[in-house]
Amino acid sequence: MTKFGGVDGIVKVKHNRGLPTRITLPMFRTSALAFLLCVASFAGNSSNALAIDQSEKHSGPAVMVHFDYYRTDYATLRKLEARLGEAIRRAMVGELSESELHLDGNDGYLYMYGPDPDRLYDVARPILRANRLTANAEVTKWRGTHTETVLLSPGKADLPSSGAKIGP
């Protein structure tokens, strides 16, 4: 290794193999940064691929429950969500997703995802019928582009909704 003079009293050390140290260090930092960005890019792509796989699995809800909701019903809704989530998980038919509540009025929605909307609904139906919030709810089941909408009716068979759409 040899030393040579620099400007303003800075001593640069020249290695026999390459560039002066003051130049090598920034290049190393740049290379390390490029490497880390490359690794992060691959990690980001794999998580995006995972998200795409999950969204392809569940491109939309398999079952949607539309019910009357008022702000005073919040605690009742949380208990209903806990019961539904546990029943769906135990039956291994899908999952309960987020609920949608319209704070300006009377609408609430429960979204359930799973590969078979009929099995998912069969698990959820007794719980929905037994709860005062959803006892008279409108339930929509999706099968690809086909939908079927029924009205829950306590103690009776499900009734087709007046807005029921069966088919594409």
- State both tokens at 126: 């007794």
Report pLDDT for 83: 98
In this structure, the answer to whether residues 80 and 15 fall within a common structural domain is no
Report pLDDT for 61: 76
In terms of residue numbers, what domain contains 15?
7-56
Report pLDDT for 119: 95
CA distance 58 to 94: 10
- The answer to whether residue 77 scores a pLDDT higher than 60 is yes
- Is residue 167 one of the residues assigned to a domain? no
> Do 134 and 125 meet the contact criterion of CB atoms below 8 Å apart?
no
- 162/15: higher pLDDT: 162
- State both tokens at 119: 């099995």
> Which pLDDT band, with edges at 50, 70 and 90, does 144 fall under?
confident
In this structure, the answer to whether residues 21 and 93 fall within a common structural domain is no
CA distance 66 to 137: 6
In this structure, the answer to whether residues 145 and 106 fall within a common structural domain is yes
Report pLDDT for 166: 41
How does pLDDT run across 82-127, given as a tens digit for each residue? 999 999 999 999 999 989 998 776 899 999 999 999 999 999 999 9
Full DSSP string of 49-80: HHHHHHHHHTSS-SEEEEEE--GGGHHHHHHH
Radius of gyration of the chain (CA): 30
CA distance 38 to 135: 54
How does pLDDT run across 30-74, given as a tens digit for each residue? 565 566 565 555 555 444 443 334 434 556 679 999 999 988 899
Residue whose C-alpha is closest to residue 138's, from 149, 148, 127: 149
Q: What are phi and psi of 103, to 5 degrees?
A: -70, -15
In this structure, the answer to whether residues 113 and 38 fall within a common structural domain is no
- The answer to whether residue 153 scores a pLDDT higher than 90 is no
- State both tokens at 59: 């491109």
- State both tokens at 89: 């998980």
- Is residue 68 one of the residues assigned to a domain? yes
In this structure, the answer to whether residues 11 and 43 fall within a common structural domain is yes
- State both tokens at 60: 């939309």
| Amino acid identity, position 86 | E
- Is residue 2 one of the residues assigned to a domain? no
Average pLDDT over residues 117-140: 95
